[in-house]
Amino acid sequence: MKNRTRMIIVLSVIVLILLLSILNKIKKAEENTGNLELEETIENAVIDSHKENLQKVNVTGYHLVTYPQSANTNSFIQSITVTALQDANIHFVIGSIDKNSFVQERTAFDIPCKAGENTFELVEKRYLIKQGEYLFMDMFGQDVLYTQENATVKSLVQNENNKVSGKMIMSQSNYVLPFKYTLETVKNYNVLVFGKDIAHQEASEGIQSIDEKLDYYEMTKARLEKTFNSVTMNRFDAVEWERNETRQEWITNFLNKQDMTNLDLVIFQLGENDEAIENLEKDMTDLVQTIRKVSPNVELIWMSGWNSDDKMLDSLPGICERLKMEWIDISDLNGAEYQSLITEDVTNNEVILPEIKKTYAPNREAMQIISNRIMEVLKFDF
């Protein structure tokens, strides 16, 4: 009886050890999953010159092509391997596929390739592929795809002969694509906010208190921290840029002294107080180029409309489109239901009685709406 009991105890210990080992392996697998599913899909689908059953197919009219698996986490492109038909700058697009099978391009870049196989390490470029997005290769000028017997992975392709409402749609194909890529989950997301007034509210009734920070900056930061492992986010008062005569001076004396390397997002909340719009596009271009010179793949958002001049507000969407920036209009939040009164003591020594200045800022609800719009433009879940 004692031997039997001892045996049961020994077996129980062995089972427990095995169970703990299995659980540990599962945990490690989950930690390392990242984009494993996506990478395996891509690796299995890419052309392999050692496979004898791979057949080259000359095609015409093909444009964007990709794999049917979108990114399952917010990631940077780690590497790309491209087999080029000839020396060329090959165009890549990052974006999504909508419910109508149209590609919604978010950003794009070119890679100079030599004829044959090319491999590029790109993680330092910080090409961000957001969760649910795809990396597309533009086949224009290459015109060669591949078939492989018993291929298990299909591709998505765009063809001039397959259009809806005059626009090419993505459709499934059995072609093997001439590129592959790997992804690295974003470890840190870097953000700068340049603004005035509502981007830099001090504690005041209806906006924020000692215990809770309720401006759109803090709300957005909290949401981004739920989206990424780590977020570095800073904001700067850009009042000097608002003054037309000091814009270039502000870029030289302030902006150029900030660390703008490895930026992923910059939000501008400017144009609220300047009615001189004749130099606006040139000044915005200088501002954007200064940042892109250091962080060429940064995503840019321009937000304006809080007590803005109507003429300036009308010009901003077109300027943003030409500069490839996202535009957010907050002019609809100027109503009384979205305002919070701020009083400021501006007593002057020459004045006997205190002078009280009254201004209005977005209230808690308006700040929430502004943060919502930022996250919607960024296409992050929140």
C-alpha angle 143-149-155 in degrees, rounded to nearest 5: 50
Half-sphere exposure of 320 (CA within 13 A, CB side): 22
pLDDT score recorded for residue 105: 94
In contact, 236 and 192? CB cutoff 8 Å: yes
Identify which of 342, 89, 106, 73 has the alpha carbon closest to the alpha carbon of residue 184.
73
Q: How confident is the model at residue 70 (pLDDT cuts 50, 70, 90)?
A: very high
**What's the mean pLDDT in 312-327?**
91
Residue 22 within a domain = no
- Domain boundary among the residues 185, 205, 239 is at 185
- Domain boundary among the residues 185, 203, 234 is at 185
Residue 177 within a domain = yes
* Residue-range definition of the domain harbouring residue 157: 36-185
Q: What percentage of residues in the chain have a pLDDT greater than 70?
A: 73
- Co-location of 231 and 287 in the same domain: yes
Residue 17 within a domain = no
- Co-location of 169 and 254 in the same domain: no
What rounded mean pLDDT belongs to the chain? 80
Number of domains in the chain: 2
With a cut of 90, say whether residue 87 has pLDDT above it. Answer: yes
With a cut of 90, say whether residue 89 has pLDDT above it. Answer: yes
Q: How confident is the model at residue 314 (pLDDT cuts 50, 70, 90)?
A: confident
- Co-location of 327 and 263 in the same domain: yes
- Co-location of 201 and 76 in the same domain: no
Residue 283 within a domain = yes
Residue 13 within a domain = no
pLDDT score recorded for residue 273: 61
Q: How far apart are CA 305 and CA 299, in angstroms?
A: 20
With a cut of 50, say whether residue 40 has pLDDT above it. Answer: no
Q: How far apart are CA 174 and CA 35, in angstroms?
A: 23
20's CB contacts (< 8 A; 6+ apart) are none
Residue 134 within a domain = yes
With a cut of 90, say whether residue 136 has pLDDT above it. Answer: yes
- Co-location of 136 and 263 in the same domain: no
Return the higher-pLDDT residue of 92 and 271.
Answer: 92
- Co-location of 282 and 147 in the same domain: no
pLDDT score recorded for residue 41: 40
**What's the mean pLDDT in 326-351?**
73
pLDDT score recorded for residue 156: 95
pLDDT score recorded for residue 121: 96
Residue 267 within a domain = yes
Return the higher-pLDDT residue of 211 and 109.
Answer: 109
**What's the mean pLDDT in 346-359?**
55
Return the higher-pLDDT residue of 295 and 195.
Answer: 295
pLDDT score recorded for residue 225: 93
**What's the mean pLDDT in 233-258?**
85
- Co-location of 364 and 228 in the same domain: yes
pLDDT tens digit string along 188-228? 999 999 987 665 444 333 333 333 457 889 999 999 999 99
pLDDT score recorded for residue 71: 92
- Co-location of 202 and 275 in the same domain: yes
pTM over 0.85: no
297's CB contacts (< 8 A; 6+ apart) are 107, 109, 125, 126, 127, 128
pLDDT score recorded for residue 44: 41
In contact, 183 and 85? CB cutoff 8 Å: no
- Co-location of 360 and 324 in the same domain: yes
pLDDT tens digit string along 265-281? 999 998 766 556 778 88
Q: How confident is the model at residue 33 (pLDDT cuts 50, 70, 90)?
A: very low
Residue 109 within a domain = yes
Return the higher-pLDDT residue of 358 and 324.
Answer: 324
- Co-location of 105 and 168 in the same domain: yes
- Domain boundary among the residues 162, 185, 208 is at 185
Q: How far apart are CA 138 and CA 132, in angstroms?
A: 19
- Co-location of 196 and 162 in the same domain: no
- Co-location of 273 and 343 in the same domain: yes
Q: How confident is the model at residue 39 (pLDDT cuts 50, 70, 90)?
A: very low
CATH number at residue 300: 3.40.50.1110
Q: How far apart are CA 368 and CA 217, in angstroms?
A: 10
